[in-house]
A and B are shown apart, each in its own frame.
Chain A
């Protein structure tokens, strides 16, 4: 009998059921790779201590500092915002030492934003289950891994048992056709998808992004796409592994070389969704008609094309959002002054993002009224950028070139907006106060952010890319 066709997600699920679902419990799903950081792990270690439990698989657990750490150093020492943030970092150091968990500290060559370093190190591999106490864990789905954010109590469960109880999510296939135009990136694509289908479209589902437009993306662009799956309401987003994936992974530190790699490629090649496999839901999207996107409101679904007029508010929520943002409907956001431009975050702080921003900024100066902050996603990205001279491009343009971390995406470390300041930001959330109490966020791609820094206002990147 022929095997029933399965989706990529089905195959990963089936391979990770340590205990299948029973009448009175959901399935026990085995976690291949567990990533932890300083902000959502301390209470999990407290729980282990209270229960007298040890970390079951420190060899499958990796720790980094990113969320609350400073991106500035004063006299060679990290400029922590306060004692609490320093204490979180020291607490993680103690917990990792006590349990034998490898930790990337500030200044380590492997340190960085958790979702940037996983792929860099080759810890993120097709077919794996990957969890982290952070909702943007969906990023790792770009490799065809089932990766999702968890709460701190679940962090404790994974530390203690390497497993999680999971109700089986439904599958949502999003077929993306067409070709992205010049100056239009994966960031614009995912903002377009969220605008079209809504911030709750993926609730209860794992999304698989499919189709020609997705296959054409490089790995870093696929990470940007999967990163914001959570902004569409889905805990996880997937892209099927292919030659692009294998090429990226070959030679990475935690990926076997030689015959081992060849064997893995054979196995990874069996992962893509089978012909005839059915998704619980299917949607389609045309990427060809997109222009650079900007958000005008307070959730990532409230966006429009850069030359489009901000739409009239459809309900009270949209009216409140425009009011919070101080934005008028009926005309484009173009020209709206920007106090800050932030290029960084797990969405857009990889080397290709910095290269794209540098192409716009090269040989130009930012508007003096606008502060430009460039925060690389990891120490490795920072080194690579410096080797290519991108740091010089940024500095010469008037930007601040910082140390890696989450920085102004979550604004826990002191990098933040003042009330009513507006940022054009390559991060993932434009929620009220996300980048500082009262701050206003316009989400955009790295090239749109860079162009906006030059103009001192929300700007279309395309004219800057023409020469």
Chain B
């Protein structure tokens, strides 16, 4: 995982609330055994019509969306299925951050572990970004700030460990592997008292 410190990009706005992971990547694209190449299936049924043609009015298909790395989405983004294919598809497509007033729990963790920055900002700042699609903004992961079109900025919170994962590119697996002896001690203790607490 590459470290993510600062993202400067135009935004793409997908205003709908409750965008579930079945929309981000429909289940029929989960039959692979790899993590790459899923960008082509991102929002497959919203980007393309029944005949497989791109829908010109879908925000990601507009010419100004090309190359944008920040997705501004509605509330409760990423709800539903735990499929990590959702952040894999978003990052493979080129996104580096999702900005929303609230991001679903499982998706948020999956995002961090793939270097996709989950940015939860307060509703008024979010409304400003919704109203200005394609605006150039900067996300500063270390400072926890998002620059706003009006010249101000909004704060976003990340648990300290998640922030460090993003900044260093070192995921939880490395940390857990270092805890081997503590885990072993716990297991011995647990075996002494059997299964239940």
Contacts and interface: CB of A to CB of B under 8 A. Distances in A.
Contacts of A320: 16
Given A15-B197, A411-B28, A431 B179 contact: no
B105 A162 contact: no
A438 B195 contact: no
B106 A200 contact: no
A18 B183 contact: yes
A292 B144 CA distance: 47
Contact of A14 (B179, B183, B187, B197): B197
A171 interface: no
Contacts of A149: 82, 106
B27 interface: yes
B79 A233 contact: yes
Interface stretch (A125-133, A444-452, A458-466): A125-133
Interface string B180-192: 1011001100100
A176 interface: no
B79 to A, nearest CB: 6
Interface stretch (A26-34, A305-313, A348-356, A367-375): A26-34
Given A30-B186, A151-B109, A437-B45, A264 B196 contact: yes
Interface string B158-197: 0111001000000111011101101100110010001111
A267 B30 CA distance: 41
A128 B106 contact: no
A151 B113 contact: yes
A161 interface: yes
Interface in A6-32: 11-12, 14-16, 18-19, 23-26, 28, 30, 32
A339 to B, nearest CB: 17
7 contacts: A18-B183, A134-B82, A156-B173, A163-B179, A320-B16, A412-B31, A438-B45
Interface of A: 11-12, 14-16, 18-19, 23-26, 28, 30, 32, 39-40, 42-43, 46-47, 51, 53, 67-68, 82, 84-85, 87-88, 91, 125-128, 133-135, 149-154, 156-157, 160-165, 167, 169, 199-200, 203-204, 230-231, 233-235, 263-264, 267-268, 270-271, 299, 316-317, 320, 410-412, 419, 429, 431-434, 437-438
